Amino acid sequence: MSTLTLAAAGAASEHRPLIITLFGCFVVATLFITVWAGRQTKSAADFYAGGRQFTGFQNGLAISGDYMSAASFLGIAGAIALFGYDGFLYSIGFLVAWLVALLLVAEPLRNSGRFTMGDVLAYRMRQRPVRTAAGTSTIVVSIFYLLAQMAGAGVLVSLLLGITSDTGKIAIVALVGVLMIVYVTIGGMKGTTWVQMVKAVLLIAGTLLITFLVLLKYGFNVSELLGRAAENSGKGAAFLEPGLKYGATATSKLDFVSLGIALVLGTAGLPHILIRFYTVPTAKAARKSVNWAIGIIGAFYLMTIALGFGAAAIVGPAEITASNKAGNTAAPLLALHIGGADSPGGAILLAVISAVAFATILAVVAGLTLASSSSFAHDIYANVIRRGQATEQEEVRAARWATVLIGIVSIALGALARDLNVAGLVALAFAVAASANLPTILYSLFWKRFTTQGALWSIYGGLATSVVLVLFSPVVSGKASSMFPDVDFAWFPLENPGLVSIPLGFLLGWLGSLLSKEQPDRGKYAELEVKSLTGVGAH
Amino acid sequence: MATEAPPPRGGADTVPVQLPTEAFVRTQQSEEFGELRRAHRSFAFPLTVAFIAWYLLYVLLSNYAGGLMGTRVVGNINVALVLGVAQFVTTFLIAWFYARHAAEKLDPRAEAIKTRMENEPRPEADA
């Protein structure tokens, strides 16, 4: 386990009451919002889609809050601080990916679906098998993403609050889990959306403040900031060029291409992002929300340059790696130093940034839990098990129970996974989403020959391939940084499966449709196509 | 077969207009809808291919053209950083460009078809 540096440890233990107070304020405020939202949550549309009454701007803010996870905030800042330019490549992939959602997915999805991704995937198809498949892949993607956030919460807390005992970390993971169950079961989509909006504002404000202070220190001269970062990194000019993390071998370069493809194609297949498009009244509002999200998320990722290179220049790699090998504490350490390591200012900034990071994790886990419990209740329970005969009340009750169940499962898994490499889990979620969900979404909306068999091959094929390839990759075994470093059953050389599994997902969808005996339902496709482009009969 | 019964009133969800499948088939084959589809596809598809190609070019350059990427432009700012920030700029531009295209070319057409279909007199069918 990594050790805290003296400065951070001193500030953290000295100002622990402050950190806990700020975090407590966020929890109390969000619980208040949740209860308020819960009182207005009556119908299924309220629970799943927040009553579809949010504006484009509100939803754009909530999307940003849902998307900018702890992996973005802590992970990217840390990756830039340690690997320089290569860390910044994540920021670019995560942002460009939004164009797929904007141009091809957001509006048609809003027009033709109701509550879940499965609504659109199953529209033209035989309901039960396709909804089962869509529900399965939604839950798998969300659980992997959820695990990464829960494990991240444990790491963060142990570093910032100085809790290093296993019991302490498990207690924190459990606390996060219980809070997310409360947010989602009581507040539904409305409560979750407001929590995400509050978090997005806090995160942007915190990042802006640190960015401003970093730039101020270098007289708003970016070149000088970069120069100091390169000098302080000990790597010189190479720190500002691609290749430090991924340039070592031909395999690692290929891995980088694989990661790049998974990032850019994964976003538009992430179920917790897709269900956000149902919270606005029209496709036009869905478009507006994506445009706002692109603006907010883009501004945030641009600021990761200042955060990451600032941490390299001001904190330095030695102190960052001493605190956390993966660099996850670079942003909080930067806050401490820029505010003055021995002054109250530094401690207050550290506390603020730590509280923002907690808020980030809570808002993202709430979104993920809602996505998976919605899909369980709406796709699997209501449409597969009850064959569409469940009443709205029964469906929402099932969603609430599913939330509790998923919460408990992720507390258990999160407690087990607390020392695992979280980056691998997030990248896996993106790769699975791009391999299993995106091909089916695009074929469903735009290809008239697509059939039930094509959808099933694509979802299960993409899902199985990506999960199996990760299982036999260096992420799981064979390397010092693996989940199980002591055994080696890795035969797939790449850490990210996207390069193989995404093309395979597309290929299987195409092949499955061509080889199916069943003719595509032309009438249903006419309905879906007309609805998706015009919004006729949209909920 | 209709898979979902319209939700009971009382919630905030609107009850959508139910139209028979034939109405959708007729619209799908109409000239008017063909134009809307063309206006969407001829804009969104090539642009998607273009930005993915531009992004992949950037990824490949980062991987295999280290010398070029390391060339300094101004002070410590090199080609890699300029190209990286250029990805942000093109993303913002494409988002803005699409919003403008949609407002001018897609929304009026979609609105017209939607209004016509929802107001079309139709036989008393319980489809």
CA distance A57 to A296: 10
Is A57 among the domain residues?
yes
CATH number of the structural domain spanning residue A20: 1.20.1730.10
Residue A110 near residue A337, CB atoms below 8 Å? no
A248 in reach of chain B (CB within 8 A): no
Of the two residues A508 and B7, the one the predictor is more confident about is: A508
Contact B88 A95 (CB under 8 A): yes
Residue A430 near residue A78, CB atoms below 8 Å? no
Domain residue limits at A99: 6-36+47-257+284-421
Q: Which residues of B touch A102 (CB under 8 A)?
A: 95, 98
Contact A388 B5 (CB under 8 A): yes
Continuous segment of H or E residues that includes residue B116: helix B107-119
Q: What is the pLDDT of residues A48-80, one digit of tens each?
A: 999 999 999 999 999 999 999 877 788 889 889
Q: C-alpha angle A418/A274/A137, rounded to 5°?
A: 55
**Ranges of chain A with pLDDT below 50:** 1-7
Domain residue limits at B58: 33-119
| The token pair that represents A444 in the structure block | 């469903």
Nearest chain B CA: its distance from A144 CA (Å): 26
CA distance A429 to A438: 13
Q: Which residues of B touch A524 (CB under 8 A)?
A: 21
For residue A50, what is the nearest residue in chain B, using CA coordinates? B12
Nearest chain B CA: its distance from A81 CA (Å): 15
A484 forms beta bridges with: A477
For residue B61, what is the nearest residue in chain A, using CA coordinates? A242
Cα A110 from chain centroid?
Answer: 21
Is A59 among the domain residues?
yes
pLDDT for the residue A12: 55
Query: A361: closest CA among A160, A138, A116?
Result: A160
CA distance A336 to A343: 9
The residue assigned the tokens 């009443």 is A391
| The token pair that represents A505 in the structure block | 């997902």
CA distance A166 to A155: 11
Integer-rounded Cα radius of gyration of chain A: 22
What is the complex's ipTM, to 2 decimals?
0.92
Is B98 among the domain residues?
yes
CA distance A232 to A227: 9
Look over chain B and give the mean of its residue pLDDT values, rounded to a whole number.
86
For chain A, give percent helix, strand, coil, nearest 5. 80, 0, 20
CA distance A199 to A62: 8
Contact A52 B99 (CB under 8 A): no
CA distance A448 to A527: 11
B11 forms beta bridges with: B9
How many folded domains does chain B comprise?
1
A51 in reach of chain B (CB within 8 A): yes
Whole-structure pTM value: 0.92
CA distance A281 to B58: 37
How many folded domains does chain A comprise?
1
| The token pair that represents B33 in the structure block | 């809808």
Q: Which residues of A touch B12 (CB under 8 A)?
A: 43, 45-46, 51-53
- Burial of residue A234 (CB within 10 Å: 0-12, 13-18, 19+) is exposed
| The token pair that represents B116 in the structure block | 């016509």
Is B78 among the domain residues?
yes
Contact B63 A257 (CB under 8 A): yes
The beta-carbon neighbor of B76 closest among A226, A288, A526 is A226
Is A321 among the domain residues?
yes
Residue A142 near residue A271, CB atoms below 8 Å? yes
- Burial of residue A161 (CB within 10 Å: 0-12, 13-18, 19+) is middle
Is B124 among the domain residues?
no
Integer-rounded Cα radius of gyration of chain B: 24
Is B21 among the domain residues?
no
pLDDT for the residue B3: 45
The residue assigned the tokens 């609430």 is A400
Q: What is the pLDDT of residues A343-376, one digit of tens each?
A: 788 888 888 888 888 888 889 999 999 999 999 9
Is A426 among the domain residues?
no
User: Would you give the DSSP letter of residue A474?
Assistant: T
Residue A346 near residue A190, CB atoms below 8 Å? no
Query: A261: closest CA among A139, A92, A140?
Result: A92
User: Would you give the DSSP letter of residue B18?
Assistant: P
Residue A317 near residue A220, CB atoms below 8 Å? no
Q: DSSP secondary structure string, A127-169?
A: HHHHHHHHHHHHHHHHHHHHHHHHHHHHHHHHHHS---SHHHH
Which amino acid appears at position A80 of this protein? I
Is B53 among the domain residues?
yes
Residue A111 near residue A533, CB atoms below 8 Å? yes
Residue A524 near residue A120, CB atoms below 8 Å? no
